[in-house]
Each structure stands twice: as structure tokens, then as C-alpha cells.
Amino acid sequence: MIFEDITPFENMSDEELRNMIVTPQRRRSFHKNLRSFMMVNPLKIKHLNTIDNLEADVVVLNLEDGVAPSMKKRALLLTAIFLSHLKKSYSRIIVRVNPIDEGGDKEIKFLNSLKPDAIRVAKVRTVDDIKKVLEILDEEISLHISVETKESLKNLSKLNINNKVSCASLGIMDMLHDLGLPQHLLKLDNPTIHYILSRFLVDSKIAGIYPIGFTYQKYNDTDTFKQWCLFEQKLGFKAKSCLGPKQVSIVNEVFSDTQEEKERALYIKNLFEKMREKDITGFMDDKYGFIDEPIYKDALLTLEKLSIK
């Protein structure tokens, strides 16, 4: 917990909250596992107070969805207080701000001095939106975007200006609404959903952006949530947005590399490099079949992700 007693925050005025913000002293998390992105509403002070002790790889303090317009200022102040008093955490800390032309620009300027690991901008649509963000975002803070509109899906492969966008999150519910499609289409066997997920994944990869799977709203339906995780993993996703610790545990389990994957990659790397010394770069192996340079490069990619040399 960040504070032993959080009850005083309930009745503080905005000015009193502002006076609680201090110079940040947080030691940043640099772990490479980016599987679970857990959404936290800053108005839920009890939840906000535990962000120093969560199993999520990434905590997303969400100033947009779920925060009424009249409460956005208070949510921002609470975010700033807890972020500034946070000493350390396993999780990387992201703040999701409102659209750049709906107050997001002011939120970014306010948050720059607090040095979250990243800012996620909601409802990005065009390259111009990215340019506006980069003009005001501190260079030490990474930029994440939410892909929630048909324009952002259309433009996604071109949005990574100067390699400044590191992650993109798919807002599937807003996307369906913007496309004029009903939300009941969100089922595991629906080909339209398969297309949206696949296009989002591939275009993110083309742009050099790390793609994050959508938020599944029925957080108590863990069985269906796990099915979605397994399906998205088969598509090629490595991360998913989460609501609560139950979903975090499932995501961390499903999207973790298995010991078998590690052993396979290391075996292929060592064998290929040994054969290459003999000027042989394509050969049959009794254990894994035909091995050539593309297979070798895939093994290197796996080992790089696991930081194994």
C-alpha cells in the first residue's frame, strides 16, 4: 500500500488534493514481460492505493472511460498524488488520458513532471493527432495509443511517427460502435471480430507497435475470458487488457512462454550456428524437421524476448 490510511482523501477538496502532490521518487520498472495491462479507475481510491503491489505487468490509470466529466479533474489529481508518492512497483505505470482535443492535452502537460512510464491517448485517429501529442509529451515518457475508431484502424500502419509510438490497445466496443456494428457480434466464432483482431495485430506489427488485446468487460466470466486469451494467443498476440486480479492471473499464465519454447529456440540457435560454420544453412533435423535461416531467425526472436543469449 502507498498510504496506510486513505480515508482522508474521500473528503478533501481539490485544492487540498493538489497540495498532496510531491516530487516523484519512484524507481521505474524495467522488466520485459508485457502481458497483462490492468485497468484501474483512479476514483476507486482503495484500488489506487494497491498499485505498488499488483501482479500485473502494466497498470493503466484510466482517466477516460468510467470517469464522468464532472469528476475528471479529481481523478487527475488523485492519479498525480498516488503516482508522486509511489516509491516502487513491479508494474509499469501508464496513465490513459482523454482524447487530445477533449482535455487530453492539458492532462499530458500536467502529468509530464510526474514521469509515468507511458501516456496512453484515447481515440487517436490520424497522424496529426500523434503530432499534437509529441509536441507536448516529455521525451522520457513513452507514447501508447488506443485504437477505438474506424479512422485509427484505417491509419494504424502509418501512425508510428519517428518510432515514437510503442504500444497500441484495441478498444473493441468503441470500434464496433464507430463501425455501426452491434456489440453482440463480440463472440469467439464471429468472422468479423476475427478480421478486426487480425487487422489490428498485423497493422500494428507493420508499424512497429506492440499490440494489446481488447478489454473483456464480463470480468467474473473467467472461463470465456480464458478462451479469448487462448484465441488471441493463437492469432499472435502477446498481451491483453485486464479488469482485476483474476483476469491478470489468466493473462500471465496464457501469454507466458513455456519451457518447451525456450528449449526449442535455444536448441535451434546452437545447432544452426554449428552447421553454419560448415557452410550449411539448410538441413534436416531429427527433432524439429527442416531448419534454415528463417527458422533460425524465429528462434533468435524468441530468445531475444526472453533475454537469453
Residue for grid cell 491483453? 240
Tell me which residues of the chain have a pLDDT lower than 70.
258-259, 305-309
Predicted pLDDT of residue 161: 92
Using only C-alpha atoms, what is the Rg of the chain? 21
Predicted pLDDT of residue 258: 65
**Around Cβ 284, how many Cβ atoms within 10 Å?**
8
- Quote the pTM value: 0.86
* pLDDT 10s digits, 168-218: 999 999 999 999 999 999 999 999 999 999 999 999 999 999 999 999 999
Predicted pLDDT of residue 307: 54
Predicted pLDDT of residue 252: 94
CATH code 3.40.190.10 for 7-254:
no
- CA angle 53-57-63, nearest 5°? 80
Distance of CA 20 to the CA centre of its chain: 29
Predicted pLDDT of residue 262: 82
CB 226 within 8 A of CB 254: yes
- The H helix count followed by the E strand count for the chain is 12, 10
Predicted pLDDT of residue 309: 40
Domain ranges of the chain: 7-254, 259-305
Give 290's DSSP letter: E
Strand blocks (E) in the chain: 36-40, 58-62, 92-97, 118-121, 142-147, 165-170, 210-212, 240-242, 282-285, 289-292
CB 94 within 8 A of CB 62: no
CB 269 within 8 A of CB 261: no
